[in-house]
Amino acid sequence: MVDIVFVIMLFFMVMAGAVKVEREIGTKLPSGCGQDISHDDELWIKIDEDGAVFLNDDKIVSEKDANFSKLTQILCQISSQSHANGARDIVTIQTEPQTKYQRVVDVLNSLANAKIADVTFTVGDEEL
């Protein structure tokens, strides 16, 4: 019986040295008040069920329009201005549950042409 306890104790002592030590991940948290923190520009793109596309409450693409060049041009201007100011563009695409996927893909293509990569999605009736 003592031999079994000795072997088990020896096993755990050997395995204790093989455990990997977790390393800390260096994170930089924002500090308290008094410091100027730059805010990024946030854009809201709303796509209705009928296919109309709004950019911050302004109707950019109508329901029947398949040309997204106006949206792409506006997004390119906004992107170039924010890059000149050193800010990022953050875009939230808000859709309705029955929005056609092609309209979402067209908006994503416009964002890609404007070189905007920070995109989030929301579905529903949230207030802009």
pLDDT, tens digit (0-9, with 9 covering 90-100), for 69-113: 888 888 888 888 887 877 777 888 888 888 888 888 888 888 888
Domain spans, the chain? 40-128
Q: Which residues of 17-50 are buried (b: 16+ CB within 10 A; e: fewer)?
A: eeeeeeeeeeeeeeeeeeeeeeeeeebbbbbbee
Res 6 pLDDT > 70: yes
Q: d(Cα 74, Cα 88) in Å, to the nearest integer?
A: 16
Q: d(Cα 77, Cα 66) in Å, to the nearest integer?
A: 21
> What's the average model confidence in pLDDT over 29-49?
63
Q: d(Cα 102, Cα 92) in Å, to the nearest integer?
A: 17
CATH number, span 40-128 = 3.30.420
pTM exceeding the 0.75 threshold for the entire prediction: no
Considering only residues 63 and 12, tell me which one the structure prediction assigns the higher pLDDT: 12
